[in-house]
Structure 1
Amino acid sequence: MSELIAGSFLAPDELKLLQLGGALSRCDCRGVVLYLCGELGMGKTTFSRGVITGFGHRGAVKSPTYTLVEPYEFSGVDVYHFDLYRLGDPEELEYMGIRDYFTPRSLCLIEWPVRGQGVLQRADIELTLNLAGMGRELVWRALSERGAALARAWSDLI
Structure 2
Amino acid sequence: MEYLSRSVTETEELGARLAAALAPGAVVAYKGGLGMGKTAFTRGLARGLGYTGHVTSPTFTIVNEYEGGRLPLFHFDMYRLDDADALFDIGWEDYLDRGGVCAVEWSEQVADAMPEDTIYVSIARHPQEDSWRCINVEGVELT
Normalised TM-score (structure 2): 0.87
Aligned match of 1:68: 62
Amino acid of the structure 2 residue aligned with 1:26: A
User: How far apart, in 2, do the equivalents of 1:62 and 1:137 lie?
Assistant: 22
Q: How does 1:57-136 map to 2 (within 5 A)?
A: 57-103=51-97, 105-132=99-126, 133=129, 134-136=131-133
In the TM superposition, residue 104 of structure 1 has moved relative to its aligned partner by 6.9
Amino acid of the structure 1 residue aligned with 2:25: G
CA RMSD of aligned residues (A): 1.8
> Alpha-carbon deviations, 1:103-147, whole Å to 9, x = none?
3722111111111133343452111001112211111221xxxxx
Q: Which runs of 5+ in 1 are unaligned?
A: 1-6, 143-150
Q: 1:45 to 1:80 in 2, by over 3 A?
A: same
Pick from 18, 25, 31 the counterpart of residue 37 of structure 1.
31
User: How far apart, in 2, do the equivalents of 1:55 and 1:66 lie?
Assistant: 24
Aligned match of 1:22: 16
Q: What SS does the aligned partner of 1:58 have?
A: coil
Percent identical pairs in the alignment equals 31
Amino acid of the structure 2 residue aligned with 1:20: L
Q: 1:60 to 1:100 in 2, by over 3 A?
A: same
| Contact 2:50–2:69 under 8 Å retained in 1 | no
Q: 1:117 to 1:28 in 2, by over 3 A?
A: closer
Q: Which runs of 5+ in 2 are unaligned?
A: none
In the TM superposition, residue 41 of structure 1 has moved relative to its aligned partner by 0.5
> Alpha-carbon deviations, 1:66-119, whole Å to 9, x = none?
111111223542211111011134322222111111137221111111111333
Normalised TM-score (structure 1): 0.80
